[in-house]
Amino acid sequence: MNIRRRGRVFVPFVLIVAPALSLAACGSSSKGGASGSDVTLSLVAYSTPQTALDAIIKEFNKTPQGSKVKFQESYGPSGDQSRAVENGLAADVVNFSLESDLTRLVKDDIIAADWNANATKGILTNSVVAFAVRKGNPKNIRTWDDLIKPGVEVITPNPFTSGGARWNVMAAYGAQLKQGKTADQAKAYLDKLFKNVPVQDDSARKALQTFTGGKGDVMLAYENEAIFAQQNGQAIDYVVPDQTLLIEMPAAVTKTTKNATEAKAFLDFLYTPPAQRIFADNGYRPVVDGVAKPDEFKTPSTLFTIADLGGWSEVSTKFFDPENGIMAQVEKGIGVSTTK
Amino acid sequence: MTQLDSELALGHRPATSRSVPRPISGFTLGMGFVTIYLSLIVLLPLGAVVLRANQDGLSGFWHQVTAPQGLAALRLTIGASLLVSAINAVMGTLIAWIIVRDRFPGLRVIDALIDLPFALPTIVAGLVLLALYGPNSPVHLNLAYTRTAVVLALLFVTLPFVVRSVQPVLMELDREMEEAAASLGASSMTTFRRVVLPNLTPAILAGTALSFARAISEFGSTVLISGNLPFKTEVAAVHIFGQIESDNPTGAAALSTVLLMLALVVLVIFTFVQRWATRRG
Amino acid sequence: MGKWLGRGIALIYLLALLIVPVGIVFSRTFQHGFGPFWDAITAPNATHAFRVTVEVAFFAVIGNAVFGLVAAMLIARHRFPGRGALNALIDLPLAVSPVVVGLALILVYGRFEPIGRFLDSHGIKVIFSLPGMVLATIFVSLPLLVRELVPVLEEIGTDQEQAAWTLGASGLQTFRRVTLPAIRWALAYGIVLTLARCLGEFGAVAVVSGGLVGKTQTLTLYVQQEFQNFDPVGAYSAAFVLAVIAILALIVINVIRPKEHN
């Protein structure tokens, strides 16, 4: 076949592909963005609630105040998302897994100082620190003491990069206190616990992947993360230990939003029983009474909150200061970096 | 000034002479466009990286580069890349040899497939390797979360470099020398070693250099299969990504500068090898 | 004997590293039949991701096509001080890690940097938005077209162009009617390479995009997201689409390559 004949085949090929691509490009540029009465809200959240929020958005679109609202969602590790918003990622509504990820934005004047002035103090969903184990719990891990037994591999992310890991650490520490141990004994427990941690991933979601990928015997996780993995076919079970920490995940509307009415309407909607029910279906403990079914979530005998331990501002400095914090010393003891 | 000069100065093609070079204005316009394009997209950003890395002076730079996790990532990356490049030097040459000198059905398809790692998105490459060597491996070979996985990913993405570097040289090679050596009684091994290899060496080195530069930069293919375990399977690019996300752009810039310097050294070697090759004729 | 050993080793290596893994992805994608695959790739997030990918690639290819032509003409047709530096600078992106590309762009166009702040005050968002992704994609695919065009331009020489000149053609006319047709296969080859590279970019856009689902999430980022969301069908299906595009590009390139060398 000579060149000219092949050329006749090729040139039409290019002529078809090029307009197709431009059509696709034009098509996507005309979609999205506010047009007339349509409002687009930018929702920036941590990684786990994606399924729940997608379902809630569908319900919100069925309501009168939500019918004309479109959403742009971004999901990722809580700390990263918070820093992204700080660096210019546009957000109308935010939902993080750690309060300090939200209060960081208060300092930058992106979120109002009274964000937590509502009935639930700004907390949208709850969960607890649980132990994720292999299906059937072959090593019979049920208590905090089981975690420090020799030969047990515990997976938890690095608390200096992962917000989620901080809940784990404080749950472990608090559980010791609630068992009647002294502060020194509780710190010694942390040393022993982290000696059993073979590797510390950067984020909670990565740690979950490591665990479901086959590494470790038990993972310290949000209860809702364990439920999420189960719902997606992962062969794991979870145990709620007798003493554990209540995980409180905050949400707020930003000050920088250009659609304050719609953003507030959506935030309010998130607190309604139907939305909280969707959260419950996805493994979260609702903050509104009467939504959770009896026996749906196991109640630990001793449930404490971060406020019992001094609140995040005190805890962040006392435990997680990269140079002098208690966890910094624990990590140095096992040779893991705490500085960025 | 003659009329010719003034017309040239105005950027006009002289009406009288037709053997003069192109109008200056076209060249200037082109250079201007290229300079602005490159500055905005390549020069300025890369310069900003080097600048940011030295924000706290040379001691600050050193402090960031020698931070334990970053150092571990660099060590793993360089070590794995050297290993991969060595493997590629051997296997790439072998594969190029087979493609050029051999004939069997399906060889042309294999030849075309060699380029697949070039064309495939790196995250897809990661998924591809995970399919065979991950937790759900059909041959029960689970390499996920190991350093072997890192080496595997790097081997995949650097496969074409040495092959494509050696191939054209092999194709052009004059077989008379080999035939002469054979007729003089040399074994094929000796012929290869003393007749063929010296001619291929520049190409092999060039391909290996490219392979190394690519390997130290690799990101997407390691993300899924290596698990990115800090201190164990986290490569430099992944660590830099973590530093960016953790709001430490200075640390990220410092490590990036190290990678850039390494790549630059490799590029310089590559250029010299090419010149050496062309000088040999 | 040695011949069979060599063949065997090479084939086993290629099978284990390249052919079998790719084959497994293909089979896993359709493991549960065509239905789930179709549902996965027509899911709204997947189609949005595809659109974003195409949109970014479109602008990046156009930018680099114009740049490629101009730069190649400059390098191949002129001698000027700094020509070597220009050549090296254009090749530089090949040696830069995609993550470093993203960082580099953030350090210039991020909200807190001088240029970024200036643009931000005029309402132009680069990082976490499409322009940033286009810049990142332009960076990584910058050299591809130039490297294809320069050798061909040097090879065909200036005889025909000079002839057109002496016959009275303007610079633009000469380019359009003499140069361009002569390099059309190299041009096509380079554009397909560039397009394939742009469609497949992952690392650089992962850094600059913010992963806004539906707005700045490319298909490659979508693959990662679905994998981390324990949705293997979604991840494999999107990966399959990307793999098919890559293979199509390979086929087109292999069709063009012999013509380029004629």
Q: Determine the angle formed by the axes of helices C98-109 and B236-245, rounding to 10 degrees.
A: 30
A337 pLDDT band, cuts 50/70/90, is: low
Whether chain C has a CB inside 8 Å of the CB on A288: the answer is no
Nearest to A337 among B68, B229, B232 (CB): B68
CA of B1, closest CA in chain C: separation in Å?
Answer: 24
- Residue A239 is which amino acid? V
Nearest to C104 among B46, B152, B266 (CB): B46
CB B257 within 8 A of CB B50: yes
A328 pLDDT band, cuts 50/70/90, is: confident
pTM for the predicted model, two decimal places? 0.83
Mean pLDDT check: name the lowest of A24-38, A148-162, A295-309: A24-38
Whether chain A has a CB inside 8 Å of the CB on B229: the answer is yes
Calpha distance B89→B273 (Å, rounded)? 15
Mean pLDDT (chain C) is: 90
C7 pLDDT band, cuts 50/70/90, is: confident
CA of B81, closest CA in chain C: separation in Å?
Answer: 13
pLDDT of residue A1: 33
**CB pair distance less than 8 Å for A340 and B243:** yes
Whether chain C has a CB inside 8 Å of the CB on B266: the answer is yes
Closest to C154 measured CA to CA, from C68, C257, C75: C75
B7 pLDDT band, cuts 50/70/90, is: very low
A338 pLDDT band, cuts 50/70/90, is: low
Residue with tokens 């099978």: C15
CB A227 within 8 A of CB A238: yes
**CB pair distance less than 8 Å for C55 and A74:** no
Chain C residues with beta carbon closer than 8 angstroms to that of A51: 229
Whether chain B has a CB inside 8 Å of the CB on A337: the answer is yes
Average pLDDT estimate for C51-76: 95
**CB pair distance less than 8 Å for A210 and B232:** no
A12 pLDDT band, cuts 50/70/90, is: very low
pLDDT of residue A14: 45
Whether residue B44 is predicted with pLDDT greater than 90 in this model: the reply is yes
CB-facing half-sphere around the CA of C241: CA atoms within 13 A: 23
Name the more confident of C4 and B260. Answer: B260
Locate the chain C residue with the closest alpha carbon to B101.
C3
CB C161 within 8 A of CB C179: yes
pLDDT of residue C161: 86
pLDDT of residue A199: 80
B199 pLDDT band, cuts 50/70/90, is: confident
**CB pair distance less than 8 Å for B45 and C108:** yes
Whether residue B62 is predicted with pLDDT greater than 70 in this model: the reply is yes
B22 pLDDT band, cuts 50/70/90, is: low
**Window 226-245 of A, Cβ < 8 Å to C:** 228-229, 232-234
pLDDT of residue A202: 73
**CB pair distance less than 8 Å for C103 and B249:** yes
CA of A109, closest CA in chain C: separation in Å?
Answer: 15
pLDDT of residue C248: 92
Question: Between chain A and chain C, how many beta carbons pairs sit less than 8 Å apart?
Answer: 81
Whether chain C has a CB inside 8 Å of the CB on A214: the answer is no
pLDDT of residue B196: 86
Whether residue B95 is predicted with pLDDT greater than 50 in this model: the reply is yes
- C-alpha Rg value of chain A to the nearest Å: 23
**CB pair distance less than 8 Å for B124 and C243:** yes
Whether chain B has a CB inside 8 Å of the CB on A206: the answer is yes
**CB pair distance less than 8 Å for C97 and B256:** yes
H/E run at residue A93: strand A93-95
The length of chain C, given as a count of residues = 262
Average pLDDT estimate for B52-63: 90
**CB pair distance less than 8 Å for A21 and C231:** no
Whether chain B has a CB inside 8 Å of the CB on C130: the answer is no
Average pLDDT estimate for B47-64: 92
Q: What are the distances in angstroms from CA A329 to CA A109, A163, A199, B215, B232?
A: 33, 18, 17, 36, 21
pLDDT of residue C35: 92
Interface with A, mutate which of C47, C54, C198, C217 (most A CBs under 10 A): C54
CA of C208, closest CA in chain B: separation in Å?
Answer: 10
Alpha helix ranges (H) inside A91-203: 99-107, 144-147, 163-178, 183-195
In percent, the amount of chain B with pLDDT more than 70 equals 90
DSSP for residue A141 = -
Count of beta carbons in the 10 Å neighbourhood of residue C181: 11
Whether chain C has a CB inside 8 Å of the CB on B148: the answer is no
Dump pLDDT digits (tens) for A247-274: 999 999 999 999 999 999 999 999 999 9
Q: CA angle A48-A56-A269, nearest 5°? A: 115
Tokens of C38: 């179709």
pLDDT of residue A23: 43
Chain A residues with beta carbon closer than 8 angstroms to that of B69: 337
Whether residue A28 is predicted with pLDDT greater than 60 in this model: the reply is no
Average pLDDT estimate for A187-212: 86
Dump pLDDT digits (tens) for C163-198: 888 888 887 888 888 889 889 999 999 999 999 999
Tokens of B162: 């040495």
Torsion angles phi and psi, residue B257, rounded to 5: -60, -40
Chain A residues with beta carbon closer than 8 angstroms to that of B144: 213-214
CA of A193, closest CA in chain C: separation in Å?
Answer: 27
pLDDT of residue A169: 95
Name the more confident of B38 and C230. Answer: B38
Whether residue C150 is predicted with pLDDT greater than 80 in this model: the reply is yes
CB A29 within 8 A of CB C53: no
Average pLDDT estimate for B79-97: 95
The ipTM assigned to this model is 0.90
Buried b (16+ CB within 10 A) or exposed e, C87-104: bebbbbbbbbbbbbbbbb
Whether chain B has a CB inside 8 Å of the CB on C200: the answer is yes
pLDDT of residue A38: 81
Locate the chain C residue with the closest alpha carbon to B216.
C97
The length of chain B, given as a count of residues = 281
pLDDT of residue A339: 53
Calpha distance A252→A248 (Å, rounded)? 13
Chain A residues with beta carbon closer than 8 angstroms to that of C36: none
Whether residue A203 is predicted with pLDDT greater than 80 in this model: the reply is no
Dump pLDDT digits (tens) for B226-273: 777 777 888 999 999 888 877 788 999 999 999 999 988 887 887 787
Dump pLDDT digits (tens) for A65-83: 888 899 988 888 787 788 8
Whether residue A2 is predicted with pLDDT greater than 50 in this model: the reply is no
Interface with C, mutate which of A6, A42, A89 (most C CBs under 10 A): A89
Whether chain B has a CB inside 8 Å of the CB on C199: the answer is yes
**CB pair distance less than 8 Å for A24 and C231:** no
Residue with tokens 């990913």: B153
pLDDT of residue B184: 85
pLDDT of residue A156: 92
Q: CA angle B210-B212-B214, nearest 5°? A: 70
Chain C residues with beta carbon closer than 8 angstroms to that of B33: 67, 70
In percent, the amount of chain A with pLDDT more than 90 equals 53
Calpha distance C258→C111 (Å, rounded)? 48
Most confident of C18-22, C38-42, C64-68, C108-112: C64-68
Locate the chain A residue with the closest alpha carbon to C214.
A72
Closest to C11 measured CA to CA, from B110, B27, A173: B110
Tokens of A162: 């992962």
Closest to B214 measured CA to CA, from B229, B243, B236, B244: B236
Closest to C132 measured CA to CA, from C164, C97, C108, C165: C108
**CB pair distance less than 8 Å for B49 and C104:** yes
As separate numbers, helices (DSSP H) first and strands (DSSP E) second, chain C gives 15, 0
Locate the chain C residue with the closest alpha carbon to A48.
C229
Whether residue B17 is predicted with pLDDT greater than 60 in this model: the reply is no
pLDDT of residue B52: 94
In percent, the amount of chain C with pLDDT more than 70 equals 98
Mean pLDDT check: name the lowest of A28-32, B19-23, C65-69, C138-142: A28-32
pLDDT of residue C49: 93
Calpha distance B160→B167 (Å, rounded)? 10
Alpha helix ranges (H) inside chain B: 3-9, 24-38, 44-53, 57-65, 68-101, 107-113, 116-119, 122-133, 147-172, 176-183, 188-191, 197-217, 220-225, 236-245, 249-280
Closest to A166 measured CA to CA, from A178, A175, A153, A157: A157
Average pLDDT estimate for B100-123: 89
pLDDT of residue A179: 92
In percent, the amount of chain A with pLDDT more than 70 equals 87
Mean pLDDT (chain B) is: 85
**Window 105-164 of A, Cβ < 8 Å to B:** 158, 161
Whether chain A has a CB inside 8 Å of the CB on B245: the answer is yes
Which chains have 3 or more CB–CB distances shorter than 8 Å to chain C? A, B
**CB pair distance less than 8 Å for A83 and B246:** yes
**CB pair distance less than 8 Å for C214 and A212:** no
Which chains have 3 or more CB–CB distances shorter than 8 Å to chain A? B, C
Here the contacts of A111-118 (C-beta below 8 Å, separation 24 or greater) are: A111/A252, A111/A253, A111/A254, A111/A255, A112/A252, A112/A255, A115/A250, A115/A252, A115/A253, A116/A250, A116/A252, A118/A271
Whether residue C84 is predicted with pLDDT greater than 80 in this model: the reply is yes
Interface with A, mutate which of C48, C50, C55, C127 (most A CBs under 10 A): C55
Locate the chain C residue with the closest alpha carbon to A230.
C230
pLDDT of residue A201: 79
3-state secondary structure A256-279: CCCCHHHHHHHHHHHCCHHHHHHH
